[in-house]
Amino acid sequence: METQTFDYVIVGGGSAGCVLANRLSADPKVSVCLLEAGRQDNWHWIHIPVGYLYCIANPRTDWMYRTTADPGLNGRDIHYARGRGFGGCSLINAMIYMRGQSRDYDHWAELTGDSSWNWESVLPLFKKHESHHLGDSEFHGGGGELRVEEQRLSWEVLDRFREAAREAGIPYTSDFNSGDNAGSGKFEVTQKRGIRWHAGKAFLKPVLHRPNLTVVPFAWARKLYFDGRRCTGVEIWNAYPQGAESRFYAARREVVLSAGSIGTPQLLQVSGVGEPGLLQTYQMSVNHALPGVGANLQDHLQLRTAYKVQGIRTLNEIAGTLAGKAKMALEFALHRTGPLTMAPSQLGIFWKSRPEMASPNIEYHVQPLSLEKFGDPLHPFPAFTASVCNLRPTSRGHVRIQSPQWDVKPEIHCAYLSTEEDRKVAADALRLTRRIVAQPALAPYYPEEFLPGPLYQTDAELAQAAGNIGTTIFHPVGTCKMGRADDPMAVVDSQLRVIGLEGLRIADASIMPTITSGNTNAPTMMIAEKAAAMIKAAA
């Protein structure tokens, strides 16, 4: 088996891996290797924002996972998209730039005993790589690699929904990223002049010329190797189109896992690092017992409520005709504006499901369209969707291997709505949606609820409805959580070093001890920014 040796080997070329490769290779005295199972972004649908419709559930750009049948979803299993290729989930995500709330990071600092994870400390890391369309300010950076812009289209139906929310007591906000995201506003997105600006484009492409950076596509990690407690490198299966072979990439200093909240725990488990009982089930040697590997899975479950309307334009009727499609294509080609630049959601609202909450605990993604489920055609009638998710779910799932073989997909059990608190938040959120839609601002358009439908009224009925309409919003985190040394379920310490091992760190969304109060891509890149600084400091 061919062996190559580098100072640092990064497993996973997603949002975190691209940041790490950029920052670590900035030192010309060290060698860096980035391994990615996918390929470069040489497909036009990756760059056109609405192309997520073609990238999700496509094996070219999606790992094509499925969850287990979930009692909380009334026995349904669901597609669980994870990005594949240089850029990872930023190739296929909603492009929404959202940091969460200051309380999220202050809580991480408390859980880890490390104040460097609090909001005041991580804000400069967010700003460092941000290129905000308004430039430098108290909360934003203007000189970084990650472009953040306003969306390049507007919809009156969304403006009316926002006004209805104000009438229901939810104020406007001009910035979701100041540490307090309460209110309603238009999402800002990781785009540059109407083109998706993913992590590979922002962080990796500009530094591919560096002689000390080696980038390997089609590199599927098979196993980590150890010399005693020290991780020495990773074996990969190089599935090149012209042939396949095993290779070994050795690390003089560190291996950094950035394979995501599904891939990272799976790789640890097939390498003999994890809960001993699980590993012994498959007659595997236990290289290092860490029961928290794969546990603590958290995700934002979105409840898709939908309403028919009259007398106001939505995407349903525009996209349903050849003339409408041609107009959209022409507008994008000439001006980089219009529906083809759409993120999946344009309007966001953060609010409390009940007044006693300390800060907003639900998030709306409001869309000028409707469909039965992702992948289905749009409905033939005018309608909008108001998806609402519980930002801080108390339900916990897991990721577990189903075989010692590296190429067998793991079991993903989300355990949605498995706690009474989560079911209560779901019922309250659906009631709040109805209260917003009943306000005068939307009355002229005669909104008529058809998902989940007005028959569901009691807490029990609304929890049942949530199970019918709920689906992932693609924010899995927490499966290799960060914590104190006395936390038996912690996988990494506050320096992101795998507890009890040497030469191995994790830098991706799996280290989040608790999920952030908003979309998770921006926090994942911040984690990588912080990890790179830690690695450099340790060296």
Catalytic residue from among 140, 198, 398, 475: 475
From the number of C-beta atoms within 10 Å of its C-beta (0-12, 13-18, 19+), residue 450 rates as middle
Report how far residue 430's alpha carbon sits from residue 364's, in angstroms, rounded to the nearest whole number.
11
d(Cα 202, Cα 381) in Å, to the nearest integer?
39
Q: How far is CA 390 from CA 294, 394, 421, 470, in A?
A: 22, 9, 10, 11
User: For residues 323 and 272, what is the distance between their CA atoms, to the nearest angstrom?
Assistant: 57
Residue 456 dihedral angles phi and psi, to the nearest 5°: -85, 120
The rounded distance, in Å, linking the Cα atoms of 175 and 182 is: 9
Write the single-letter amino acid at 23. Answer: R
Residue labelled with tokens 């390929």: 39
- Best CA proximity match to 334, nearest among 193, 187, 197, 150: 193
Residue 107 falls in the annotated catalytic set: no
Tokens 């098979």 correspond to 222
How many beta carbons lie within 10 A of that of residue 403, not counting itself?
Answer: 12
For residues 503 and 251, the answer to whether their CB atoms sit within 8 Å is: yes
- Quote the DSSP letter at residue 204: I
**How far is Cα 403 from Cα 50, in angstroms, rounded to an integer?**
36
Residue 319 CA: distances (Å) to CA of 175, 281, 338: 31, 51, 12
Task: Count CA atoms closer than 13 A to 296's CA, side-chain side.
Answer: 26
164: helix, strand or coil: helix
Bridge partners for 224 per DSSP: 234
Active site members: 475
